[in-house]
Amino acid sequence: MSRVSETGGRMMRMTSKQERFAQLVASGKSQAEAYRKAYPVSQRWASSAVHTQASILAAHSKVLERIAELQRPGLEAVQLTVEGVLRELHSVVHSDLRKAFDTKTGALLPPRLWPDELARAMCSVKVVEMAKQKGPDGQPMYVKEVKVWDKNSAIEKAMKRLGLLVDRVERGDPGAFSETAEELRARIKERSVKLGLAKVAPKGK
């Protein structure tokens, strides 16, 4: 059985397995797990083969649109928007811990005084009382630790969103992509000559 949906004014036909895959991904399953459930025969495959085929299927336009269609009601219910998510991502990418400290004393500011953008980037705050240690005023001394969300991960996500970083999937037999640097240069040169981007050097030069 297949499902027909209308998106953007055109009809799209999906197989029952594609529909099952889209439903599982939309419900929160990983692409590989969804693929194994939608295509039971793949349960005998190597994990790398499953991941490759799942990525290819998930990138198919009609499957992508169906997943988005299934997820839309839930996203609207919690008011989760692309703009809001990107705003949070922006906060982590541009987080500056200097804004968490008093510019005169260097002391950590109370969270209520942090700028909103910095507060959104914070992952945790830990306060530990130092046993049997008192300050000059006789009050207990504390160690305060703040941690922001993983900035490298946030930058990677932002780069993917901006098209500056893309995932590549290679398909082929093991070892099919292994070649020496010299072989790679020769292949690039040969391809450049065929495309007219380089000329063949006369022999002896």
- Long-range contacts made by residues 120-127, C-beta under 8 angstroms, separation at least 24? 120/88, 120/91, 120/92, 121/91, 121/92, 121/95, 121/148, 121/149, 122/146, 122/147, 122/148, 122/149, 123/147, 123/148, 123/149
Q: What pLDDT does 132 receive?
A: 72
Q: What pLDDT does 187 receive?
A: 72
User: If DSSP states are collapsed to H, E and C, what string results for 71-129?
Assistant: HHHHHHHCCCCHHHHHHHHHHHHCCCHHHHECCCCCCECCHHHCCHHHHHHEEEEEEEE
Q: What pLDDT does 179 receive?
A: 61
Series of mean pLDDT values for 10-residue runs along the chain (205 residues):
49 84 92 95 93 92 91 76 81 90 89 91 84 72 84 82 63 58 72 64 57
CA distance 26 to 64: 10
